Structure 1
Amino acid sequence: MFRIEIIPYTLRFKQPAGTSRGVYHEHRIWYVLLRDVEDPSHVGIGECAPLPDLSCDYSDRYAETLSDYCRITEQEQQINTELLREHSSILFGLETAMLHYRQRSWQLWDTPFSRGETGITINGLIWMGEFREMMQQIEAKLEKGFGCIKLKIGAIDFEKELALLRFIRSHYSAREVELRVDANGAFAPEEALEKLHRLAELKIHSIEQPIRAG
């Protein structure tokens, strides 16, 4: 039998993280700690880390909602997946904690990555900012050898964002560097199609959330 403790924590960005919804300087997260009542050394830890205005399940009452669902999980001694379908970050945190608790190990899955045999290919993320700042981020990622660059767009002038993408394309073909963009819903529906056509000219691999939901 386990009890659940919620541990709030604040992460602070090393540099401001700009998106079309605003600039993040810190990130409030909540750790969920499952602890066996008979063996306090037997624990499971998970992380609930929604971003305000970006995560679908974030609200001003997030901490209270998390507490409510942790209490239900504690009472039932299992995760009610269907009940948590609309609260993805809470479900993720509890599932991770439960898996850790049951495995009694940080190696949650038996994969080449978890065995330390291989890494995971990731993109080089470029946060929004002033044109010069974004250019510096791009140059740094390319120097490190990233084969995929993902730009947050929608906060500065669209023509300047296209200029950043053209800079990459002038030095690297689509085969050499894959380009992705994430607008976080910044495009107005009436202008989205035109902007997508202009992005396509630069052989963009994909765009995430060009318009807001609804």
Structure 2
Amino acid sequence: MPIQEMTVWDTAVEVAQGSRNRYGGATTLERVVVRLTDDDGAEGWGEAAPLMYITKETGSDMAATLRGATPRIRGQEADELLAALDDAADFTGLGAARTALEIAAIDLAAKINETPFSHVFGGHKRTSVALDAPIGLLPPDEAVRKAEPLVDKVITTLKVKSGVDAEADAERLVRLRERFGPGIKLRTDANGGFTPEEALWFTDRMVEIDLEHFEQPVLPSEEKHIDVFREIRARGMQVALDESLFSIDDARRLVDMEACDIGLIKIAKFGGPRNAWEVARVFDAAGKSALLSSPYESYIAKSAGFALALSLENADRAHELAHLLDEEPYAAWSHSISNGKFTLADATGHGAVGIPARVEKIARTTV
């Protein structure tokens, strides 16, 4: 059935982000929520957040672009929209806006066709994935106190921030290892905050405590960043990359240069789930890992990331899909999180729906 209506909410909430990284902690989060409704009343929900410190688009930019596309979208079938998504608007520099629309269109098409969201990726290969939990730039004892209830909930992987002070960052991780022992996996993300010398010193300390992987040790602007990544791997530490990965060409180059073991997949960076899937497949095909990350969005975007994670060949990593903020949920989902796992529900589409009254409460504008 043709799409009859598209509703776009430009939302913003004040938050106290608990997992502070070297960029600082978020105080305001912008997210754009999209609902497509067809003539039969079926709804497809999408969402994306402009990625802080990474993209330059704002929630207002996203919302304005999507609202401008409404006349071109209205009257199309969901499958038609997906076949010519870039005809709807100029999404140059607006990957998050494109992502929100594509998630909604895939969700609507899947509901109409009575298939899960993962159908667009060839179908899911499992029904659950392991999850990690975040620990920010905290003093060692505070990091342990934050981790204890997470471990009690059977979280077995902790993602610990670093990249500000190599010695203090190392001490935080050593203290966590001493407290929880070898049964907990520890990974760290420096967000490119180290110099090459600091990154190599830090690597040697972390090899001693069996760190799972070291994410973005230095920024891609560092002249010899590829050499640094290779040297870290040569010293026995796996490397994950985020700030170095923005396109399928980046993925191919990093794999071909043997610069990493894991690619961080934030769907909005690639302009939508289908592009993100193609990037993830580069790592999958090379026998490496693609790790889904959705740190700022609600259940809607997390469910899309979950569907992609379920469709990967390689399932050896905990995904970053349970970093939930302390806020009133404005969406609901049919999936479940328990015992450190995200488990699939029997649902068509991505399994999440917005709660309009709650979305309205945090919307700056609605059209």
> What is the TM-score when the length of structure 1 is the normalising length?
0.75
Task: Give matches, 1:124-203, under 5 Å.
Answer: 124-155=133-164, 157-170=165-178, 171-173=180-182, 176-203=183-210
CA–CA separation in structure 2 for the residues paired with 1:62 and 1:49: 7
Q: Which has the higher contact order (CA 8 A, sep 6+)?
A: 2
For the residue of structure 1 that corresponds to 2:210, the secondary structure is coil
- The match for 1:27 is 29
Number of the residue aligned with 1:80: 86
- Percent of counterpart pairs with the same letter? 23
Given that 2:135 and 2:147 are in contact with CA atoms closer than 8 Å, whether structure 1 keeps it comes out as yes
Question: Partners of 2:145 and 2:67 in 1: how far apart?
Answer: 43
Equivalenced residue count is: 201
Q: Is the 8 A contact 1:5 1:34 kept in 2?
A: yes
| Distance in 2 between residues matched to 1:49 and 1:134, nearest whole Å | 27
Contact 1:128 1:152 in 2 (8 A): yes
Distance in 2, Cα, partners of 1:190 & 1:87: 36
In structure 2, distance between residues paired with 1:46 and 1:152: 29
- Distance in 2 between residues matched to 1:17 and 1:125, nearest whole Å: 6
Alpha-carbon separation, structure 1, partners of 2:29 and 2:52: 9
More displaced stretch, 185-194 vs 63-72: 63-72
Residue aligning to 1:17:
19
The answer as to 2:29 corresponding to 1:63 is no
Contact 2:44-2:108 at 8 Å conserved across structures:
yes
Distance between the aligned counterparts of 2:201 and 2:13, measured in 1? 38
| Preserved CA contact (<8 Å) 1:20 1:183 | yes
**1:82-101 paired onto structure 2 within 5 Å:** 84=91, 87-101=94-108
| Comparing 137-146 and 178-187, the one that deviates more | 137-146
Higher-strand-fraction structure: 1
Contact 1:4/1:74 (<8 A) preserved: no
Structure 2 unaligned regions, length at least 5: 222-367
RMSD over aligned Cα atoms: 3.2
Instruction: Select the residue among 6, 11, 25 that pairs with 2:8.
Output: 6
In 1, distance between residues paired with 2:140 and 2:127? 35
1: CA distance, partners of 2:154 / 2:34: 36
Output the amino acid matched with 1:25.
Answer: T
CA-to-partner distance for each residue in 1:98-139, whole Å, 9 max, x for gaps? Answer: 0122123795347xxxx9x95431012212234443221122
Residue range with higher mean Cα deviation, 123-132 or 24-33: 123-132
